[in-house]
Amino acid sequence: MFKRKSFFSKLLIIYTTVLVLILFVISAVLRFSFQRLYYLDEFRRLENTAKEISNIFIQYQEGQISYLEFTIAVRTFSQSTNAIVLITDLEGTILFNSAMIMMGGRHHLGQRTYLKESFMPQLNKAVSGCNVRELSISTETSERALNLFTPLRKDTEILGIVIISQPVQDITHIVKRVNGLIWFVGLTGSLVTVFASFILSKRFTKPIIQLNNAALSMASGRFVPVHVKTDDELEQLADSFNYMGEQLAKQEENHRQFLSTVSHELRTPLTSTLGFIQGMIDGVIAAEQQDHYLKITVSEIKRMINLTNDLLDLERIKQGHIQLYRNPFNLSQLMEECIQQLTPLAEEKGILLILTAPQQINFTGDRDRLKQVFVNLLDNGIRYAKEKVEIEIISKTKTLEITIKDDGPGISEEDLPYIFQRFYKGDKSRSTKKSGAGLGLAIAKHLIHLHGGDVSVIPSNFGAVFKIVLPKY
């Protein structure tokens, strides 16, 4: 019925064991409490009876009632409870014994019979004015009895001791019936508890089983959403699991797209380079044209080197092996160098680069890594711009803000949340001009974060706007 060592079976066993133990403890406590209360109630009843017998005995001694009336009163009590009533003096001499009346013999108070030696300690306590209660077991018959020793008083004077011994078998019969009822209720409750534990455990473990199956499906490459409606932490866990699955699915798709892009980016220059070199070897390309094709070959090799460097940088960032070499420098001068480096590319495409910044902006950071970021963003803007790329640097009290804006087609809203993700190469209107592998923006974001800053894309209807915020040191 259950899988071996399954969470459901363990949970069911724990629930059932705890609840059954609680029920049995409650049953045992009720049984003990009832038996104790019952015995206490019986002793109180015997004490009241002893007082009545004491009063009747004093009336008999004073001649207010006859011996027959006295014995009838005692016999009525003895027959109804099957108890034995003894009246002794302070020394333990038995003055009255109801057992002789119950057997049919005529008792006279002048008969001198002494109390057993084993009962003398109880007698002495009663002589001192205390009521003595005990549950005794006969060494001869092994019968249990409730024994009460109580002083026989006349006003404040103790004249003797009234002893009542009531067999426990009659009481035990009642207690056993009540105990049986308690245990019946306990066992019935245990069965109900087992059933309730089964239902609760099933309800509790069902979402966990769903999550487990979904995790196995995800491990095989197929994401299946989990639908849990419990309004508790399990539902939150299922929602988090679904979100994780969606993110992993997107990352996997981006990764596949990245591999496809890298393969294409490497295969195309390698193929053209191989063709050019093979043409020169075979003499297909004329000598006067070889210089032109060698320049193309060098350009393609540089592009492959840049792609390889990006891959290595991305892996080092992922492993946390990137170190920054911080030194003070002029940030405006660095931006001018980046613009000069990319001016030939901009002029080739007819793009105007416009810089608005103070002449001197002192900043402490890794100059080479920031140059890598600026060149990447400027190159990105030049590729997608129609006419111009605007760069603005604003120095504030605690931060520096660098904005790079192009007038190209912009970035779609659906691509904005993923534009800085590794391997991501989205957007539709900009993809026709795209030549990168989707690594530059991810690298730029990590390098800015290492400087304690942030880079973001500002939504705009006129081109893409990248904003970098760096803290001043």
Structural fold of domain 7-175: Beta-Lactamase (3.30.450)
Rounded Cα distance, 247 and 223, in Å: 11
Q: Where are the domains of the chain?
A: 7-175, 233-319, 327-471
pLDDT at 308 > cutoff 90: no
The percentage of residues in the chain with a pLDDT greater than 70, rounded to a whole number, is 85
Rounded Cα distance, 409 and 435, in Å: 16
pLDDT at 433 > cutoff 50: no
Kindly indicate the confidence band of residue 173, based on its pLDDT and cuts at 50, 70 and 90.
low
Please tell me the least confidently modeled range out of 2-6, 268-272, 307-311, 350-354: 2-6
Kindly indicate the confidence band of residue 7, based on its pLDDT and cuts at 50, 70 and 90.
low
The pLDDT of residue 116: 83
The pLDDT of residue 261: 66
Contact 58, 123 (CB under 8 A): no
The model's pLDDT over 374-403, given as tens digits with 9 standing for 90+, comes to: 998 998 899 889 999 999 999 998 999 999
The average pLDDT across 461-465 equals 83
Q: Cα–Cα distances in Å, from 438 out to 66, 311, 318, 399, 434?
A: 121, 10, 16, 28, 9
pLDDT at 9 > cutoff 60: yes
The average pLDDT across 450-468 equals 88
Rounded Cα distance, 454 and 468, in Å: 6
R_g of the chain, CA atoms, integer Å: 51
Mean pLDDT of the chain: 80
Please tell me the least confidently modeled range out of 6-10, 189-193, 431-435: 431-435
The pLDDT of residue 340: 92
Half-sphere exposure of 270 (CA within 13 A, CB side): 9
Kindly indicate the confidence band of residue 106, based on its pLDDT and cuts at 50, 70 and 90.
very low
Alpha-carbon torsion angle 59, 61, 67, 69, nearest 10: 10
CA angle 339, 343, 344 (to 5 degrees): 150
Tally DSSP H helices, then E strands, for the chain. 10, 13
Please tell me the least confidently modeled range out of 59-63, 134-138, 329-333, 468-472: 134-138
- In CATH terms, 327-471 corresponds, of 3.40.50.620, 3.40.50.10900, 3.30.565.10, 3.60.15.10, to 3.30.565.10
Phi, psi dihedrals of residue 395, rounded to the nearest 5° = -100, 120
Rounded Cα distance, 53 and 74, in Å: 7
The pLDDT of residue 107: 38
The average pLDDT across 427-444 equals 60
The pLDDT of residue 112: 47
Please tell me the least confidently modeled range out of 3-17, 19-33, 302-316, 334-348: 3-17
The average pLDDT across 241-270 equals 75
The pLDDT of residue 2: 46
At 54, is the secondary structure helix, strand, or coil? Answer: helix
- The side-by-side arrangement of strands in the sheet containing 113-114 is 113-114, 93-97, 84-88, 157-167, 144-154, 132-137
The pLDDT of residue 294: 87
260 vs 341: which has the higher pLDDT: 341
pLDDT at 172 > cutoff 70: no
The average pLDDT across 433-452 equals 76
**Pairing mode, strands 93-97 and 327-330:** unpaired
pLDDT at 185 > cutoff 50: yes
The average pLDDT across 242-246 equals 81
Q: Which two tokens stand for residue 238?
A: 């299922």
Please tell me the least confidently modeled range out of 69-73, 94-98, 174-178, 326-330: 174-178
Q: Does the predicted TM-score (pTM) go above 0.75? A: no
Kindly indicate the confidence band of residue 98, based on its pLDDT and cuts at 50, 70 and 90.
confident
Kindly indicate the confidence band of residue 138, based on its pLDDT and cuts at 50, 70 and 90.
low
- Asked, colleague to colleague, whether 7-175 and 233-319 share their fold, the answer is no
445 vs 246: which has the higher pLDDT: 445
Nearest to 453 by CA among 389, 382, 380, 369: 369
Rounded Cα distance, 389 and 408, in Å: 9
178 vs 85: which has the higher pLDDT: 85
In order, the DSSP letters of 255-295 are HHHHHHHHHHHHHHHHHHHHHHHHHHHHT-S-HHHHHHHHH
- Please give the class, per CATH, of domain 233-319: mainly alpha
The model's pLDDT over 220-234, given as tens digits with 9 standing for 90+, comes to: 777 778 777 777 777
pLDDT at 473 > cutoff 90: no
The average pLDDT across 346-352 equals 91
pLDDT at 369 > cutoff 50: yes
The pLDDT of residue 33: 80
Rounded Cα distance, 95 and 173, in Å: 32
